[in-house]
Amino acid sequence: MVQKDISYITREFVRQECSVFGATLSDEDCDRIIVEVARLAERGEFHHTGVYWIANGCIPLL
């Protein structure tokens, strides 16, 4: 299984991706999302376009 490079998934990147949909995220929120992205990437299940949807699953009422 090939793991994608996810080093570009930073707090700033997560905030930018999610702010398009009106979300305002704390550092803790971003960290939870980054952990989930890393978990999915390890399994080969991460797709860049899924950052908002991953966030929506991690953070209630996003």
Cβ atoms 54, 12 nearer than 8 A: no
Pick from 4, 11, 16, 12: which is nearest to 40 by CA?
Answer: 4
Q: How many other CB atoms sit within 10 Å of the CB of residue 35? A: 11
Query: Please, how many CA atoms are within 13 Å of residue 21, restricted to the half-sphere of its CB?
Result: 13
Give residue 42's pLDDT. Answer: 92
Task: Report percent pLDDT > 70 for the chain.
Answer: 89
Asked whether residue 52 carries a pLDDT value surpassing 70, the answer given is: yes
Task: Report percent pLDDT > 90 for the chain.
Answer: 53
Asked whether residue 34 carries a pLDDT value surpassing 80, the answer given is: yes
Give residue 50's pLDDT. Answer: 81
Asked whether residue 2 carries a pLDDT value surpassing 80, the answer given is: no
Give residue 21's pLDDT. Answer: 83
